[in-house]
Amino acid sequence: MSALQPFPVPLPAGVKFPVKTFAKRQRAVVMAQRYVLITGCGEGGIGEALAREYQKKACTVITTVLPWESKDHLISAGIQCYELDVTDDASVQALERIVDKVTEGRLHVLVNNAGICYTMTGIDTDVQEVQKMFNVNVFGPMRMVHHFHPMLIKARGTIVNIGSVGGIVPYMYGSSYNATKAALAHWANTLRVEMAPLGVKVTTIISGNIGTNILKSDTARTLPEGSFYAPLAREFQEHVQRVPDTTPRAVYASHVVPQTLKANPPAWYWVGATTGIVRFMDIFGFRTVWDYILWPVFNLGKLRQETEVWRRGNE
């Protein structure tokens, strides 16, 4: 017996099956599937909040954590998570292969969020610590863009770099961290121009004080013995253990995500506590305007007096 053949059901006269319309709708469904990759999504950080917000926007979110960090907070929310060390090319390349397979070669949003902090006076800085921080905060995004740009170009995607007001304000004890964020902002702004002909957008988020745990590794930091800043040792301890007024992570993410999904996202997007005054001062203030604000806040007059006493004793 021959195999059964489908029974041909004739369409009414003058009626045609809308093959082209159906195909267009199918393509639209595929195109509407947006893939987002976010680095640095450890529990309690900005990355986790962004992942949850992108998920609300019906994006397929791919997140990363460090090899020794837990994935439970993301897996339990139905978010894909993989291990990544942005300072290691082999680790980035391994993730690239995974993401290429998951997304079929199209990445719509890359969020360079992974970052670390180092709090210390400029003259007491441990350069090795700063090199480690630059490797994460600056060279990490560079590695990600280097390896993932073909997927972004194919999807006409967007690169999102999580910056900070620290790259704008000469905030005390943050010279090294501020340098990483200033470098990131200016690298990203140039990248924005370079990627435009390739159809890729680049936006930098200038973040204010956000309620994250980035400072957790710095709370026990102390000034080194013999530091010229020893007269401010108590103030320094209070600074690293401070709990500043912050914008909640979820609120921050709810502002950031819609901006990054726009067809033409802003070059810089300011969001979070203190960004209003910082932006105003940066536009309208003179370069040393922050000196008048930071001197009393950090008790720098006391340090000047103690330094004068030391200088007279060593003439």
The set of catalytic residues is 177, 181
What whole-number distance in Å separates Cα of residue 167 and Cα of residue 207? 10
DSSP state of 213: S
DSSP state of 217: G
- What does DSSP say about strands 35-38 and 109-112: parallel, antiparallel, or unpaired? parallel
Give, as one character, the DSSP assignment of residue 232. G
Tokens representing 252?
């921050």
DSSP 127: H
Contact yes or no for 204/188 (Cβ under 8 A): yes
- 223, 236 contact by CB (below 8 A): yes
Looking at residue 247, the DSSP 8-state letter turns out to be B
| 178 CB burial (10 A radius; 0-12, 13-18, 19+) | buried
Angle between helices 175-195 and 139-155 (to 10 degrees): 20
Please provide the size of the chain in residues: 315
For residue 81, how many other CB atoms are within 10 A of its CB? 21
The span from the CA of 192 to the CA of 194, in Å, is 6
Tokens of 148: 């993932």
Beta carbons within 10 angstroms of residue 301's beta carbon:
10
